[in-house]
């Protein structure tokens, strides 16, 4: 598609420089002129950007009224297209404790001013039990602006100062559970998501319900939903093994919702915004321990959670008030396996601190190998270790590095060991065999592969081994223009590779108007966030969670099959997993691979 959204791009580009204002949007109004970030929280109504694509007349020519039908959970149904769906009844399968989902689509040739969806209680065929409404998440699949891969079709790395150079389209992604009803304009389609979190104590069997689509009080569609609850039980997310490490950005939340950082209001909102991460079994608490570990690469840069003060005698004083509050908050949310502390080797080797003598912020510019760097970090890490021990967190805390030149990493490691030989260390970077023994949590890009020996040794030593994707990958990925099934594929791949999990550098590093426009001034749209404001999840995130559930199910099934010596089935399972090969993704889309694999394990 070649339609450009130049006006928006221009405004957007102009606002990019706001990043330097500590991510503050001084006007409280976003570039579309809407107050999407205004109180009261959460905002329940907002207007999407104008669709740059024209109506697909051909698809609408046979429809005079409104059509409601089931689609699937992998497809971003286009707003301007009538997908001509027919399915009126859907069966979805799941284990007890599992989240299963379906997507219906309303396509209307006429204007509808107030469409809502009602689900009658999901009742067991025996009539004896039902799944209550609080186990159901339902919401409109909203349209957000996206862009595309780099022109060479190789990932999305690099700056995009002029977004008009990229095709900009509306795509279905955010699941808006907050809008009770929406208008649907003539000749547009609207997806609707229904997710059922099967209770762990449900009895197995079929639970059915009517799904009513209404315009005001008039029923304009009626669909049948059946959830087939299987015998097996999926444990709750806090029991999951999958090591999910999605970097949280509380600074984006404070800016977007215009609340003071670390205020009660901020934490109240964070509880909503980060709930999906906790419910996805998020394992790692992201902690910036110094100013701007990644420079200003996100719209809202990461500020230090540890206060650095240089006293007039030149000694350092560190305060952990924010750190403690944040860590305790995340632990209360259920995220408590690991604390990842960034970064001893930040992208810009500059350390901002409050200088008491001059009553001002100062920068210490120093790099590994220099005395000042050594003294600073030795002092910091010793103090930090003592604090962590006093809190009982030392054993879960990792001094975390991104990929940096090897000599720098080795020098940093030496200081860490000097401060406390038992400090845990993590790295998200390249594969360096010589570092593996040093790294308690080691994450490499999908293109690189740990040897089976390394993985086995690491597992035996209780070390975590994962992989990541970022702007380098075209597929699999979680851009807003990615095939949503790639989200699921990502977790399946970890199962195939016998990895512990997955890392992504951005859970919610929002753009200026994340609900409206997922494009950023670097990388592909959606690269910087997987969750939308208001605790809204999305096709990408729900597919990722589905994949993680599959990972957990495979883990359980493997144990079960091994115990029962069902080697033939085990081999079949391994063959299914073999199909998760990123090099084949261009030929066979992720949804095909994932659907087939799901069919297999749901049939076991």
Nearer to a copy of itself by C-beta: 254 or 444?
254
CB count, 10 Å around CB of 28? Answer: 11
Burial class (CB in 10 A: 0-12, 13-18, 19+), 275: middle
Q: Mask of contacts with a copy of itself, 7-46, x by CB under 8 A? A: ---------------x------------------------
User: Which residue in 222, 325, 433, 596 binds a copy of itself (CB under 8 A)?
Assistant: 325
Q: Name which of 372, 381, 373, 368 is nearest 418 in CA terms.
A: 381
Check: CB of residue 172 under 8 Å from CB of residue 141.
Answer: yes
User: Which residue in 321, 430, 562, 564 binds a copy of itself (CB under 8 A)?
Assistant: 321
Least distance between a copy of itself and beta carbon 317 (Å): 9
Nearer to a copy of itself by C-beta: 48 or 273?
273
Is 322 among the residues that bind a copy of itself (CB under 8 A)? yes
Token output for 104: 């219906």
User: Which residue in 3, 39, 261, 456 binds a copy of itself (CB under 8 A)?
Assistant: 261
Is 50 among the residues that bind a copy of itself (CB under 8 A)? no
Least distance between a copy of itself and beta carbon 35 (Å): 23
Strand partners of residue 205: 229
Q: Which stretch binds a copy of itself (CB under 8 A): 62-70, 316-324, 364-372, 546-554?
A: 316-324
Q: Measured between alpha carbons, how far is residue 596 from residues 29, 270, 600 in Å?
A: 45, 37, 6
Q: Name which of 76, 115, 117, 109 is nearest 188 in CA terms.
A: 109
Distance CA 573, CA 575 (A): 5
3-state secondary structure of 19: helix
CB count, 10 Å around CB of 602? Answer: 18
Least distance between a copy of itself and beta carbon 179 (Å): 32
Least distance between a copy of itself and beta carbon 354 (Å): 5
Least distance between a copy of itself and beta carbon 360 (Å): 6
Q: Which parts of 449-478 interact with a copy of itself (CB under 8 A)? A: none
Q: Which stretch binds a copy of itself (CB under 8 A): 94-102, 233-241, 257-265, 529-537?
A: 257-265
3-state secondary structure of 360: strand
- Please work out, in degrees rounded to the nearest 5, the angle formed at the alpha carbon of residue 336 by the alpha carbons of 334 and 340: 135
Least distance between a copy of itself and beta carbon 357 (Å): 4
Length of the chain: 604
Is 356 among the residues that bind a copy of itself (CB under 8 A)? yes
Binding residues for a copy of itself, how many (CB under 8 A)?
25
Token output for 35: 């107050």
Q: Mask of contacts with a copy of itself, 273-312, x by CB under 8 A? A: ------------------x-----------xx--x-x-xx
Distance CA 164, CA 2 (A): 10
Least distance between a copy of itself and beta carbon 324 (Å): 10
Distance CA 389, CA 384 (A): 9
Chain residues in the site for a copy of itself (CB under 8 A): 22, 260-263, 291, 303-304, 307, 309, 311-312, 314, 319, 321-322, 325, 352, 354, 356-361
């Amino acid at each position: 598609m070649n339609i450009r959204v130049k006006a928006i791009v221009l405004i957007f580009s102009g606002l990019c420089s706001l990043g330097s204002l500590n991510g503050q949007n001084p006007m409280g109004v976003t570039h579309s002129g809407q107050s999407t970030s205004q109180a009261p929280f959460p905002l329940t109504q907002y207007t999407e950007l104008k669709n740059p694509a024209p109506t697909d007349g051909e698809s609408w020519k046979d429809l005079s009224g409104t059509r409601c039908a089931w689609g699937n959970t992998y497809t971003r149904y286009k707003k301007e297209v009538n997908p001509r769906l027919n399915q009126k009844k859907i069966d979805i399968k799941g284990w007890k404790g599992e989240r299963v989902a379906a997507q219906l689509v309303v396509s209307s040739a006429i204007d509808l001013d107030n469409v809502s969806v009602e689900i009658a209680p999901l009742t067991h065929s025996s009539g004896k039990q039902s799944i209550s409404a609080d186990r159901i998440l339902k919401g409109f699949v909203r349209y957000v602006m996206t862009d595309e891969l780099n022109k060479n079709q190789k990932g999305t790395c690099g700056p995009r100062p002029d977004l008009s150079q990229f095709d900009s389209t509306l795509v279905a992604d955010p699941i808006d559970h907050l809008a009770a009803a929406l208008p649907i304009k003539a000749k547009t389609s609207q997806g609707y998501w229904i997710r059922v979190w099967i209770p762990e104590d449900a009895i197995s069997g079929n639970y059915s319900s009517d799904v009513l689509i209404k315009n005001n009080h008039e029923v304009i569609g009626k669909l049948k939903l059946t959830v087939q609850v299987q015998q097996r039980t999926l444990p709750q997310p806090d029991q999951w093994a999958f090591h999910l490490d999605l970097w949280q950005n509380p600074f984006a939340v404070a800016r977007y919702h215009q609340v003071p950082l670390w205020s009660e209001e901020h934490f109240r909102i964070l509880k909503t915004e980060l709930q999906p991460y906790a419910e996805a079994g998020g394992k790692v608490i992201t902690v910036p321990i110094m100013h701007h570990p990644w420079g200003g690469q996100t719209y809202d840069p990461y500020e230090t959670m540890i206060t650095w003060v240089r006293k007039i005698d030149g000694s350092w004083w560190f305060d952990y008030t924010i750190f403690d509050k944040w860590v305790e908050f995340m632990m209360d949310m259920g995220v408590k396996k690991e604390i990842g502390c960034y970064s001893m080797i930040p992208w810009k080797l500059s350390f901002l601190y409050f200088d008491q003598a001059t009553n001002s912020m100062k920068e210490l510019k120093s790099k590994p190998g220099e005395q000042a760097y050594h003294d600073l970090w030795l002092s910091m890490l010793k103090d930090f270790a003592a604090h962590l021990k006093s809190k009982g967190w030392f054993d879960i805390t990792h001094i975390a590095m991104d990929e940096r030149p090897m000599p720098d990493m080795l020098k940093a490691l030496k200081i860490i060991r000097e401060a406390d030989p038992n400090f845990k260390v993590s790295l998200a970077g390249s594969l360096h065999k010589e570092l593996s023994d040093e790294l308690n949590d080691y994450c490499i890009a999908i293109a690189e592969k740990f040897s089976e020996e390394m993985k086995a040794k690491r597992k035996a030593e209780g070390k975590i081994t994962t992989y990541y994707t970022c702007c380098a990958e075209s597929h699999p990925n979680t851009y807003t223009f990615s095939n949503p099934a790639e989200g699921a594929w990502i977790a399946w791949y970890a199962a195939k590779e016998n990895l512990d999990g997955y890392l992504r550098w951005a859970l919610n590093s929002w753009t200026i108007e994340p609900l409206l426009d997922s494009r950023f001034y670097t990388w592909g749209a959606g690269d910087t966030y997987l969750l939308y404001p208001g605790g809204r999840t999305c096709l990408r995130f729900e597919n990722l969670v589905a994949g993680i559930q599959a990972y957990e199910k495979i883990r359980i099934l493997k144990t079960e099959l091994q115990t029962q010596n069902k080697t033939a089935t085990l081999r079949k399972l391994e063959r299914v997993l073999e199909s998760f090969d990123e090099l084949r993704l261009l030929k066979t889309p992720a949804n095909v691979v994932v659907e087939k694999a799901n069919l297999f394990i749901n049939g076991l």
